[in-house]
Amino acid sequence: MNLQKVISGFFFILAMTLNFGFFYGDMSNLELHSTYELFAALVISLIATALKIGDKTQIGSVLLASSLVADMQLIAAVVVWTVIEYTSGMTPAHMATVVSLSGGAFLANMTSVILYIGETLKSKR
């Protein structure tokens, strides 16, 4: 067993599950989407990105790319939420934007988890 693999796998999958947790539920319903969950999803996603940095292999670069996409989407969601909250106040339509942004991040996270699993299955050790 490789401890490094456990740690990185843990963060990749946790980033995806947290993201899913935030995303799941009626898009425009404010109460179904917790800020804490979005915060956690962003933090874990950033950590996952840091773990992927500096891997020179082909698959490593694709993993890093997908992770960067997820970060971008989540940061966009957070910024939109903050700006809306402090200017016009949250409406169901704006909430849908935030949630759909996190939905995009969820897809990117899923891509990176699938790639990661694929790489693990291919490995002979």
Partner 1 sequence: MKNNALWIILQRLRIPLIVIIVTYSISILGMVLIPGLDDKGNIYHLTFFDAFYFISYTASTIGFGETPYAFTYEQRLWVLVCIYLTVIGWFYAIGALVSIISDKTLKQELTKSRFRRRVNRLKSDFIIVLGYNHVNSQAIKKLVAAGLNVVLVDKSEDKINGFLLEDYSKSVPVLVGDALLTETLESAGIHKSNCKAVVAHFFKEDKNLRIAILTKFLNSNVKVITKATMNETMTSLLDTDIAKVENPFEIFAKRFDIALSSPHILVLENWIYKNADLTDEAVFLPKGRYIICGYGRLGKLLKEKLDKHDLDYVIIEERLRGDSKMLSEGRYIRANADDKEVLKESGIESASVLVAGTQNDIDNISILLTARKINPDIYVIARENTMKEVSIFEATKANWLFMIEQILINKTSLQLSQPLKHCFLKRILYKDEQWASSLVNLLKVQLGDNPRLLNMTITEKRAFAIYTAIENGETVTIDMLLKSLEDWTKYHKALPLFLKRGDEEILLPSNEALQLGDQLLFACDEESREEIELIASNIYDLHYVSTGEEKKNWLLEKIFG
Task: Provide the binding-site residues for partner 1, judged by CB under 8 A.
Answer: 35-36, 39, 43, 46-47, 50-51, 53-54, 56, 78, 82, 85-86
Instruction: Count other C-beta atoms under 10 Å from residue 14's C-beta.
Output: 17
Query: Cα separation of 6 and 4, whole Å?
Result: 5
Query: CB-hemisphere CA count at 13 Å for 108?
Result: 25
Min separation Cβ 46 and partner 1, Å: 5
CB of residue 5 to partner 1, shortest distance in Å:
15
Contact 67, 49 (CB under 8 A): yes
Give the nearer residue to partner 1 in terms of CB position, either 88 or 121: 88
Instruction: Tell me which residue has tokens 């693990």.
Output: 120
Nearer to partner 1 (CB atom), residue 66 or residue 121 = 66
* Cβ atoms 99, 27 nearer than 8 A: yes
CB of 36 to partner 1, least distance (A): 8
Which one, 57 or 123, has the nearer CB to partner 1?
57
Instruction: CB nearer to partner 1: give 36 or 125.
Output: 36
Look up residue 10 and give its DSSP letter.
Answer: H
**CB of 22: closest distance to partner 1 in angstroms?**
13
